[in-house]
Amino acid sequence: MHIKLIKRFAFILSIPCFFYSCDDYGYSNRADTYLGGEIVNPNSNFVILSKENKLSDTIYLDQNNRFLHKIKDFEAGVYSFRHAPENQIVLLEKGDSLYFRLNTMELDESLAFTGVGAEKNTFLIEMFLLNERERDDLIRRGFKLEPEAFQEKQNVLLNRRKKRFNQLNTKIKLSPLAKKILKASYQYDFYSRHEMYSYSHYGVTDISNINKLPQSFFTYRGKVNFNDKDLKRLYSYNRFLNHYITNSSYTNYTKGKSYRTDPVGVTLYELNLVDSLITNEYIKNNLLRGITSEFLLGNEDTIASKKVLESYTGKSSNNLFTEELNRLRKATSKLKPNNIIPNQDLISSNGDLIKLSSVFEKPITALFFWSLEDQKHYMSAHQRATQLTDRYPKIDFIGINTDEQQTKSWLRAIKRHDYNPKREYEFKHPKCSSEELVIYDKNKVILVNQDGKIINTTNDLFSPSFEKRLYLYHEMISNTN
């Protein structure tokens, strides 16, 4: 999908931010920097602007769902703004007066910028969307090409981006920082593709052919700064770091064996690699957190989880992340198959306070979760649950809302979309319940039997493997009746 043309705005910003002259690098010589915007179909009445892990500013929308914000204690670089459930990044430099328009029903495809700083941020979103569009073709065809043909194809695509960058730089004379970040926004995506190629083309067990890849295939690695503070918020840079670490574990640790034969060893190798390679605390702590949380979420072995967490704790300097992961380990240890699911307080559509254990009426119940903050997801989740209910009537699908203090809006959504009110509930204590049931993935489904014993907690509502599992369970139920 193409970026939509931005509509003419119905209001004029109240500051004269677009009428100052610019210096040789195309940015304003004023001291102040502003960010403004309009959220179409907002999910809440605020956005959060942040840099690194520190909460910078919570900015409230006005009655027209717009805002204008002067950034205090400004530091040039990549910022993120969050309007739940989505995050986006923007590049802000001294004197920028950047305005964006975002429709939550269309997200990245609707994001459009105007004002001082618009061109470079439009470039960033263009590069992001180009990569998204090309990803499916990579999986279907690109990774099947032989190494030389793959490199040739990627070089053609890379040169198109370079041409687009040079056109922009000629037009507005980018600052050194902007040049660096804009170049990295597309270069690192191509680095990632090369890291992914070896195990996508040959498979993780064909180590002999992976090792036969020409040296020229990975020459870019010599250019990579694994501790680049200017790029630490950039999606493409972080994607590359993760792909590099994964590829390294396949080629240097498993060496042709399946990841499943030693998931603990692979995870410990990756943690040690990050510890030896990364010195920037922000980058290091985030990579360590991602590797550890991924392991904890997919592992049911308490001893293994403890071992991985001990390794993580010895390497991370972020105490908040450590506390978070300790809670995650404790929660996942309670969600093993055959354990009784933690009995949460629910509110029914009639306003009654009930226990989770009271809703298990059929031999198997599938619990799925949704939030008003993500309309696209909750509509598709309910549609999928309805399809599966029709196919497997002996399995009960229960939708649980995870929002804080949104009961009226939740009830309106149930009525508006004609959801079955007898199969809809909300958590009485959403934050605590979400932590106890480890609801970090919006597509998560928990399967329990009629006694409340956990069958499985690692299901994806939209995954074909999940439906195969449902089919087997449904057949077992039918054969026992």
pLDDT of residue 107: 63
Average pLDDT over residues 256-274: 89
- Please report which confidence band the pLDDT of residue 27 belongs to, taking 50, 70 and 90 as the band edges: very low
On the question of pLDDT at 16 being above 50, the answer is no
On the question of pLDDT at 431 being above 80, the answer is yes
pLDDT in tens, 43-70: 889 999 998 766 578 999 999 999 999 9
- Please report which confidence band the pLDDT of residue 481 belongs to, taking 50, 70 and 90 as the band edges: low
- Please report which confidence band the pLDDT of residue 300 belongs to, taking 50, 70 and 90 as the band edges: confident
pLDDT of residue 11: 24
pLDDT of residue 17: 36
In angstroms, the CA 402 to CA 399 distance is: 10
- Please report which confidence band the pLDDT of residue 24 belongs to, taking 50, 70 and 90 as the band edges: very low
On the question of pLDDT at 6 being above 70, the answer is no
pLDDT in tens, 365-424: 999 999 988 888 999 999 999 999 999 999 999 999 999 888 998 999 999 999 999 999
Cis status of the peptide bond prior to 85, with omega within 30 of 0: yes
- Please report which confidence band the pLDDT of residue 138 belongs to, taking 50, 70 and 90 as the band edges: very high
In angstroms, the CA 100 to CA 114 distance is: 6
pLDDT of residue 188: 98
pLDDT in tens, 436-470: 999 988 999 999 999 999 999 989 999 999 999 99
Average pLDDT over residues 115-139: 94
pLDDT of residue 8: 21
